[in-house]
């Protein structure tokens, strides 16, 4: 395989991982988790979202979270937004970047944002005009890129067109999201190859769920065609508020552990992530889907054997 020497891990657990939890996570624990993630070596953390708290109650304390975290130098703390109002709140909270979602399915865009795709793209232009002068990077995410629970298969050309529309607005960091876990290694290879060929000046991040157990296989398929930015969630937490089908994101500790085993640098300390996941698991009172959280790393096991 054509594996990279290094990848960038984008941690989305504090937002995408926690938003599906029915029990409210105390603000202090959210802040503690983000600070631990910062200390692990991660340089990109999606800390929260500025959305309607009636729809996503877990994110009702987003302003407090952003005020309370220790902002480590060199770490970008981003937030997800869905509209211009969210952008205004994110600017006031002094985020480093905003993630703006546009769905590759008209039905899903209406369900998730209460807007058409065309209206979302128009809002994106306004968000750029608001954020970029403030030094805040705008990162569009093309959601349900590998399939939609309402429309079925999403044509590859539609994803290419949406990514192209974002690039035409001057945006060069674009996330491609497998929102409900419908991607396979073959579909990942096809789509990411097509995107990189069509838009060679763009950097594509891949946001994957592990709904059908193909998450890390999809990572390897994407690496093989040159993708080096991957989004993951500590403990494998996550889901999707508009469908009950999408289980957790790929686990950050599982992703980092796989890279460690393959000799791919991440600059992330897997044991720090594992301990942080354990804190959340203890609070939630249920097992999280991360394999490394359960079994530990091979290196840790051999170290224990050597000390025995």
For 62, 227, 273, the CA distances from 15, given in Å and listed in that order, are 9, 23, 16
Residue 205 placed within a domain = yes
Residue 244 placed within a domain = yes
Q: What is the pLDDT of residues 122-175, one digit of tens each?
A: 999 999 999 999 999 999 999 999 999 999 999 999 999 999 999 999 999 999
Number of domains in the chain: 1
Does the pLDDT value for residue 110 go beyond 80?
yes
What is the DSSP code (8-state) at residue 239? -
Residue 3 placed within a domain = no
Does the pLDDT value for residue 303 go beyond 80?
no
Structure-block tokens of residue 217 = 């296989």
Q: What is the pLDDT of residues 48-72, one digit of tens each?
A: 999 999 989 999 999 999 999 999 9
Active site residues: 240
Question: How many CB atoms lie under 10 A from the CB of residue 236?
Answer: 27
Residue 125 placed within a domain = yes
Q: What is the mean pLDDT of the chain?
A: 95
Is the pTM higher than 0.85? The answer reads: yes
The residue segments making up the domain with residue 37 are 8-307
Question: How many CB atoms lie under 10 A from the CB of residue 196?
Answer: 16
Span 89-102, average pLDDT? 97
């Amino acid at each position: 395989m054509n594996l990279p020497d290094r990848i960038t891990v984008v941690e989305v657990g504090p937002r995408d991982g926690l938003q599906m939890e029915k029990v409210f996570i105390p603000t202090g624990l959210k802040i503690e988790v983000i600070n631990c993630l910062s200390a692990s070596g991660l340089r990109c953390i999606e800390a929260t979202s500025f959305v309607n708290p009636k729809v996503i109650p877990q994110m009702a304390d987003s302003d407090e979270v952003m005020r309370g975290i220790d902002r480590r130098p060199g770490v970008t703390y981003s937030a997800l937004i869905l509209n211009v109002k969210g952008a205004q709140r994110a600017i006031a909270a002094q985020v480093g970047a905003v993630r703006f979602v546009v769905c590759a399915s008209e039905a899903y865009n209406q369900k998730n944002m209460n807007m058409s795709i065309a209206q979302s793209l128009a809002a994106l232009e306004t968000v750029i005009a608001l954020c970029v002068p403030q030094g805040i990077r705008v990162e569009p995410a093309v959601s349900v890129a590998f399939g939609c629970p309402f429309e079925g298969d999403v044509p590859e050309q539609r994803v290419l067109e949406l990514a192209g529309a974002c690039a035409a607005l001057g945006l060069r960091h674009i996330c491609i999201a497998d929102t409900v876990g419908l991607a396979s290694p073959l579909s990942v290879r096809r789509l990411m190859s097509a995107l990189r060929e069509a838009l060679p000046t763009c950097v594509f991040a891949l946001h994957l769920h592990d709904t059908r157990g193909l998450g890390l296989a999809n990572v390897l398929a994407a690496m093989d065609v040159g993708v080096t930015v991957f989004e993951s969630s500590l403990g494998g937490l996550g889901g999707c508020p508009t469908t009950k089908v999408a289980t957790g994101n790929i686990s950050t500790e599982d992703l980092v552990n796989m890279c460690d085993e393959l000799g791919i640098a991440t600059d992330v300390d897997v044991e720090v992530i594992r301990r942080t996941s354990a804190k959340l698991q203890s609070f939630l009172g249920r097992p999280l889907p991360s394999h490394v959280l359960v079994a530990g790393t091979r290196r840790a096991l051999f170290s224990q054997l050597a000390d025995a």
